[in-house]
Amino acid sequence: MSGRGAVRVGVGGPVGSGKTQLVEALLPLIEAAGLRTAVITNDLVTVEDAERVRRSGLIDPALVVGVETGACPHTAIREDPSMNQAAALRLEEDHGPLDLLLLESGGDNLAATFSPELVDYWIYVIDTAAGDDIPRKGGLGVLQADLLVVNKIDLAPHVGADLDRMRADVARARPARPSLFTSLRGPGGADHVFEELCRSALFQDVPQA
């Protein structure tokens, strides 16, 4: 997929797992690294996530686009990604050159995947509060994403999630693929995700701040 500009990174996962939080936590790291990025969000019938990111002050609001996907956000990122592709092209034409494009999927079930036509790399975000049996149950995101993020580890003790068991289940489900356990609301919560992104998707060393 080289030669078409920005590296496209998909961020998928169930509603509430921390996808927008991850995008917001990555933006300052991307900027500090001197990289230019834009954000596309996929909501059902609103552009709420896009508005949230625009208002965050973390990125030029013109570089954030919300795609209204109707009832099926996973269709828009998997079977018919044309709306997202058009949004990506428009962003690159109007604001390019960009190094990176972050595409957040809307509320998805555990089987949602990104089309390889749409993204170069995809991150799947789950969280401890949604149940510590999710990694064991598998699902395409858990099994196939380029990077699995298990978020909200700060909540694990409060919701009775067994992190050791989750780590063991993740290792079993993804023997050859990376995974990271995060607390994205805390300081530095996305540092390791950014490092992995640089290594795997951007093919460059992590710039030292």
Ligand X SMILES: Nc1nc2c(ncn2[C@@H]2O[C@H](COP(=O)(O)OP(=O)(O)O)[C@@H](O)[C@H]2O)c(=O)[nH]1
Q: Which residues bind ligand X (CB under 6 A)?
A: 13, 15-21, 151-152, 154-155, 183-185
Single out the residue of 33, 40, 49, 122 in contact with Mg ion (rule: CB under 5 A). Answer: 49
Residue 5 or residue 18: which is nearer to Mg ion going by CB? 18
For residue 149, give both structure tokens.
């993020």
Q: Total number of residues binding Mg ion (CB under 5 A)?
A: 3
Residue 14 or residue 81: which is nearer to ligand X going by CB? 14
In the stretch 2-31, what mask flags binding to Mg ion with x, by CB under 5 A?
Answer: -----------------xx-----------
Beta bridge partners of 7: 100
Residue 167 or residue 185: which is nearer to ligand X going by CB? 185
Residue 5 or residue 196: which is nearer to ligand X going by CB? 196
The entry of Mg ion, ligand X, none near residue 154 (CB within 5 to 8 angstroms by kind) is ligand X
In whole angstroms, the minimum distance from the beta carbon of 5 to ligand X comes to 25
In whole angstroms, the minimum distance from the beta carbon of 204 to ligand X comes to 26
Contacting residues for 73 by C-beta, under 8 A, at least 6 apart: 42, 43, 44, 105, 106, 107, 108, 112
| Cα–Cα distance measured from residue 144 to residue 169, given in angstroms and rounded to the nearest whole number | 14
In whole angstroms, the minimum distance from the beta carbon of 156 to ligand X comes to 10
CB-count exposure of residue 209 (10 Å: 0-12, 13-18, 19+)? exposed
In whole angstroms, the minimum distance from the beta carbon of 63 to ligand X comes to 18
Other C-beta atoms closer than 10 Å to the C-beta of 92 total 16
Helix, strand, coil percentages, rounded to 5, for the chain: 40, 20, 40
For residue 62, the Cα-to-chain-centroid distance in whole angstroms is: 20
Residue ranges that bind Mg ion, judged by CB under 5 A:
19-20, 49
